[in-house]
Structure 1
Amino acid sequence: MTPRPRVAVVGGGRSCEHEVSLASAASVAEALDPASFDVVRLTIARDGSWRDEQAAVLDLAGAVRALQGCDVVFPLVHGPHGEDGELAALCELAGRPYVGSGVGAGAVAMDKWVTKLVAEALGIATAPARLVTVADAEVVGWTGPVVVKPVAAGSSHGVSLVRTPGELGPALAAALALDARALVEEVVVGREVDVAVLRRADGTVVASPALEIVVDGLFDHAAKYGGGADFRVPAALDDVEAKTVEEAALAVYTALGCAGVARVDFFLTATGLVLNEVNTVPGMTEHSQVPRMFAAAGLPYAALLDELVRGAAPR
């Protein structure tokens, strides 16, 4: 990198997480030290078109040229068409180093069904689930309370806690409106505990203190962004629980081939740890979960971003 690298901060995107992504990108762009980095803001509109800092429309060739004019790309496009490896692939085709996980890790982690298979191969439990498509949604029978979610979506969009038989059909319709596949999971009763894992610029991999989410009911989109959840960091875990959660997060991060920072979400139940999901492009405002966790470990927001940018490497 040059002494003062040009960093393309990319936000927006075509998914239902567009607004969340814009918030992450704006926060990161503001927090990157202008004495250390020259920030270039790029936005992907809801229709997939790109905009430069003056809001001028760029075609794909123009977007690639904009990326190639920077030393590093910081992708902050959450959800499908970004976090799932698509933006990482464009950076690789453009020959630009970028922050975060590569194409394979992004695609696998975004797919909650495949992530379950990886976790179970590691000996980490996941919620028993059934994979449902549009073709077989109407024949899904009632087996008791379940959680229905899209296979590949984020920010808890399309997630429903189904308590009665009559709620199952609408919940499946909501999930399948966002993805061609949905998961019908058994309800897991336990504490919701998250850990962030970071590959630092020197190549070492570290886990943050755990964060516990305390919420009355389902941690859905409204609870996540409406102020209805209480984030407690560090989580009140004993030494054995803390070690178990950290080791599981590191194992999943490594097995998926993640880079940069990822958030690994668990339930801590009476019978042990259960993996919920993995986010390779987690929310990155200063008040998001990942920055809070690392701040609790003594790594403030600006320093975390500095680690991420300086840790970006050609793929």
Structure 2
Amino acid sequence: MPNPSPGRKIRVALLFGGRSSEHAVSCVTAAGVMNAIDQDKYEVVPVGIAKDGQWVLSDGDWQQWALNAGEMPEVRSGSETVRLGGGSGRTGLVVTRPNEVPRELGDVDVVFPLLHGAFGEDGTVQGLLELADVRYVGAGVLASAVGMDKHYMKVAFEAAGLKVGPYVTVTDKEWRRDPQSVRDAVGLLGYPVFVKPCRAGSSVGITRVESAEGLDTAIAEARRHDLRIVIEASITGREIECGVLEGRGSDAPRTSLPGEIVVQGGAHKFYDFEAKYVEDNAASLSCPADLPPEVIAEVREQAARAFDAVSAEGLSRVDFFYTPDGELVINEINTMPGFTPISMYPQMWAATGLSYHDLIDELIQLALDRPTGLR
């Protein structure tokens, strides 16, 4: 795919919404980017993906996608459908309506997939963009798939020498065939445990289970979002996060100062969906985290190692527990972290000296510098 010609704006297609349970979070992320992106440098083409999978053209009013008074924004299906690869070439966007001549929107230089969860953050959209030979922001197919899967990311972390906590992965067939064996395996972890959908984010479908009596209900909730689930032993420790940004050219990954999530308590026993997105004062970020200098250095080194372990590109947020005995236990990597101006990833980079505006620009430039295909 050729580079954008000099003297014109770079055309950026923002993809948001999507088919996953994190649809609304994706819309809120898109609102932040639409509001902050350099309109003098970039021509933005907002494309929403409805919950039924239809791609629709947005009018670009970022405020309609913001989180207003707790109301969750949603992309609605319409009579017009946006398609990629139509018109003059594979990188073109075209709008179609039944019984009408397609309307070409022209080529795009780069796609910014602001999608969270399944069918967006898991390698599916990335594969589509690779087939269309379109540059895009963020991780490729493999890294997106591994980073979305709470089981296989742990496998990759362990192979890279990173410490993970005790866990059990439960497939659909295992649960249907022999639920008692699953209950017994979880009992060996010791309570409390966290029951999670294997391939979901934003704390959707996650339940903290205090005793065996609550396990089946928590498993049923997780299985509403993913028939594969992971059940993790509770780890006592501070929640530490670190932002990772791909290096230019052959440079090593860059890391932000670590931040610490502080949940204010009350109704929140952990950093759940409401604490992240709905209640303004439920949680806060302390950045840089109050840690000894050598621990800060270790967090950053391990975050970069986790980024490389899954072959990530563009951006990632890596989450750790820092235990009372001074040990770092990696929790997960998020290859498309929350990306509103108040999300943890941009806040950590702002504390490190890279503003939200400049972070958006850097991610787009990284995507433009990177070829499509095998690399």
Structure-to-structure mapping, 1:27-42, within 5 angstroms: 27-42=32-47
Q: What residue in structure 2 maps to residue 12 of structure 1?
A: 17
Match of 2:129, SS state, is helix
Larger mean Cα displacement after TM superposition, 292-301 or 116-125: 116-125
Choose the corresponding residue for 1:133, options 171, 183, 208: 171
TM superposition shift of 1:58: 2.8
Q: What residue in structure 2 maps to residue 172 of structure 1?
A: 219
User: Is 1:76 matched with 2:94?
Assistant: no
Match of 1:42, SS state, is strand
Q: What residue in structure 2 maps to residue 296 of structure 1?
A: 351
**Residues in 1 aligned to 2:273 and 2:219: alpha-carbon distance in whole angstroms:** 16
User: Is 1:220 matched with 2:272?
Assistant: yes
**Residues in 2 aligned to 1:17 and 1:286: alpha-carbon distance in whole angstroms:** 18
Higher-RCO chain (CA-CA 8 Å, sequence separation at least 6): 1
Q: What residue in structure 2 maps to residue 107 of structure 1?
A: 145
**Residues in 2 aligned to 1:45 and 1:308: alpha-carbon distance in whole angstroms:** 25
**Residues in 1 aligned to 2:25 and 2:285: alpha-carbon distance in whole angstroms:** 18
Cα shift readout 1:184-241 (whole Å, capped 9, x = no counterpart): 1111110000001001455532100111001132111122222311211111111111
Choose the corresponding residue for 2:298, options 244, 256, 262: 244
Cα shift readout 1:98-130 (whole Å, capped 9, x = no counterpart): 110000100011111011111111221111111
Choose the corresponding residue for 1:124, options 121, 137, 162: 162
**Residues in 2 aligned to 1:191 and 1:221: alpha-carbon distance in whole angstroms:** 18
TM superposition shift of 1:280: 0.5
Q: Match of 2:262, as an amino acid?
A: V
Q: Match of 2:112, as an amino acid?
A: F
Residues 73 and 97 in structure 1, CA contact (< 8 A), matched pair in contact too: yes
TM superposition shift of 1:69: 1.3
Choose the corresponding residue for 1:233, options 282, 287, 293: 287
Q: Match of 2:287, as an amino acid?
A: V
**Residues in 2 aligned to 1:239 and 1:58: alpha-carbon distance in whole angstroms:** 50
RMSD value over aligned CA atoms? 1.8
Q: What residue in structure 2 maps to residue 66 of structure 1?
A: 93
Residues 195 and 265 in structure 1, CA contact (< 8 A), matched pair in contact too: yes
Q: What residue in structure 2 maps to residue 150 of structure 1?
A: 197
**Residues in 2 aligned to 1:214 and 1:282: alpha-carbon distance in whole angstroms:** 18
Residues 198 and 262 in structure 1, CA contact (< 8 A), matched pair in contact too: yes
**Residues in 2 aligned to 1:66 and 1:106: alpha-carbon distance in whole angstroms:** 24
Q: What residue in structure 2 maps to residue 257 of structure 1?
A: 311
Q: Which has the larger radius of gyration?
A: 2
TM superposition shift of 1:282: 0.8
User: Is 1:25 matched with 2:30?
Assistant: yes
Q: Match of 1:237, as an amino acid?
A: L
Q: Match of 2:371, as an amino acid?
A: P
Match of 2:92, SS state, is helix
Structure 1 portions without partners, runs of 5+: none
**Residues in 1 aligned to 2:58 and 2:131: alpha-carbon distance in whole angstroms:** 22
Cα shift readout 1:32-54 (whole Å, capped 9, x = no counterpart): 11111111100110011100135
Q: What residue in structure 2 maps to residue 52 of structure 1?
A: 57
**Residues in 1 aligned to 2:361 and 2:31: alpha-carbon distance in whole angstroms:** 16
Larger mean Cα displacement after TM superposition, 116-125 or 59-68: 59-68
**Residues in 2 aligned to 1:198 and 1:254: alpha-carbon distance in whole angstroms:** 11
Q: Match of 1:210, as an amino acid?
A: P
Number of positions where the alignment pairs a residue of Structure 1 with one of Structure 2? 315
Residues 91 and 108 in structure 2, CA contact (< 8 A), matched pair in contact too: no
Q: TM-score, normalised by structure 1?
A: 0.95
